[in-house]
Structure 1
């Protein structure tokens, strides 16, 4: 059933609020949250996702920068000590050190910066996510091959899955484009494998017009590149092949991985 009861000041602020109760219920159910688990609702708006998250028994951090929505959230959840409202920008709010999940309908304009904060670091408390993002972005991120280094880095370390399409009419007001329910789960890549993966991907994507096998000459033994990578440029190599190559190298204890760039992967 579509909900029309939450059409507040969204139309005047340029925000498109997710307003379909079925989509929201599926987001929350897919996260499989447990009691006292920490979950973040980025861009919480008036609390359409925050409220069902609170009903799971989890501890909820609702992040919102709009003054009016913040005031409404604080009133709405004043008697719910498990819900904390942060008057912050999703691009700069300090992320928890403890383990946390994310369930949110991300404003399209800040999707990439927020995903970068969640998916780029090697060491963080981020555990998993159920997100609503722009349809085109979801399709690019879940392609079997990655078009750039950043996308490859994310998709090799996280399983990114389009669970369903979210039509524009599920929002109030409706945007011009559809969205997607995107699931995010870690692949269990340890730090050693991640360091090798970064080195391999960087070398290959730094020379995008050169066949990946050639771009890795001197870095990876030829016998491995020819056995584990298809013949083609970096953008033509499947995510699974990159990950298999990195894990194979990581299993060889004689391989010394280069240090990860500290400024990017703290």
Structure 2
């Protein structure tokens, strides 16, 4: 019987199957099991927990998640990896389910059969849309531990006043506690991307804003950060400008980058 310990190294498995990263899918493989095990620990404890992983590729992070005791549902769009992942599933003692599909279209509630976590080295080209889906969609993850390009990770977790602070950070932090928990240089990946990466841990808030409040927040932040060098009296003119700011208790002469998340929530509620 195949066990996790008896599986060949990932590089060997990739070579055996003749697999290379597909640029059109934004693929960069994380083959160092010491790194993937650290990511699993940052996401944990996962013993007995359901985890959705997007874009497992050759399964480096998948191995670490199964080792950590999770029940893993791996969603892979690239059918080339299914045989390799199937070998991993045979060694996973029934705790790995492989789903071929597009993560932007799958129904996570149906896949997980209830609550669960998301842990993924996200494909670069769909990372932000997937995060917004999990933050604002009907299925609410218990936690998310996600790898992005470092620039995107910094935007998600940036505080007001920081250069990286913008729409993505406001919406993310309105719905979850967000923290960069690990930085990874390009050389950690095969093939190395042109940019560094980072892992963000997001824990959804116990009492998040309502769906209408989030819809209003997206309108306010689009207007405010669409003209981020202008004062709010100008950038929010189409939504009420000075009157909206005064109703929310926000200085209309402030610029978007200086307004904290709770300030934008006040503007959204005033709208």
- What TM-score do the two structures reach when normalised by structure 1? 0.77
Q: Deviations over 1:140-176 (max 9, x none)?
A: 222213423x542222212221112101111112112
Q: 2:258 aligns to what?
A: 236
Q: 2:115 aligns to what?
A: 99
**Is residue 11 of structure 1 aligned with residue 15 of structure 2?**
no
Does the 8 Å CA contact 2:51/2:117 hold for their aligned counterparts?
A: yes
Separation of aligned partners in 1, 2:221 and 2:249: 12
Does the 8 Å CA contact 1:168/1:176 hold for their aligned counterparts?
A: yes
CA shift in 2, pair 1:241/1:91, >3 Å: same
CA shift in 2, pair 1:45/1:201, >3 Å: closer
Find the residue that maps to 2:249 and give its secondary structure.
Answer: helix
Q: 2:4 aligns to what?
A: none
Find the residue that maps to 1:112 and give its secondary structure.
Answer: helix
Separation of aligned partners in 1, 2:121 and 2:177: 19
**Is residue 135 of structure 1 aligned with residue 150 of structure 2?**
yes
Does the 8 Å CA contact 2:73/2:98 hold for their aligned counterparts?
A: yes
**Is residue 112 of structure 1 aligned with residue 128 of structure 2?**
yes
Separation of aligned partners in 1, 2:243 and 2:29: 51
Does the 8 Å CA contact 2:19/2:80 hold for their aligned counterparts?
A: no
CA offset at residue 235 of structure 1?
3.2
Q: 1:158 aligns to what?
A: 176
Structure 2: stretches of 5+ with no match in the other structure: 1-7
Does the 8 Å CA contact 1:19/1:172 hold for their aligned counterparts?
A: yes
Q: 2:100 aligns to what?
A: 87
Separation of aligned partners in 2, 1:20 and 1:112: 25
Q: 1:185 aligns to what?
A: 203
Separation of aligned partners in 2, 1:235 and 1:198: 20
Larger helix percent = 2
**Is residue 211 of structure 1 aligned with residue 211 of structure 2?**
no
Q: Deviations over 1:224-263 (max 9, x none)?
A: 514xx695122331224435x479x7xxxxxxx88xxxxx
Does the 8 Å CA contact 1:129/1:183 hold for their aligned counterparts?
A: yes
Separation of aligned partners in 2, 1:216 and 1:204: 13
**Is residue 225 of structure 1 aligned with residue 249 of structure 2?**
yes
Does the 8 Å CA contact 1:101/1:129 hold for their aligned counterparts?
A: yes
CA shift in 2, pair 1:204/1:172, >3 Å: closer
Separation of aligned partners in 2, 1:43 and 1:136: 20
CA shift in 2, pair 1:218/1:12, >3 Å: closer
- What TM-score do the two structures reach when normalised by structure 2? 0.75
Let me know the Cα RMSD of the aligned residues. Answer: 3.0
Does the 8 Å CA contact 1:63/1:85 hold for their aligned counterparts?
A: yes
Structure 1: stretches of 5+ with no match in the other structure: 250-256, 259-266
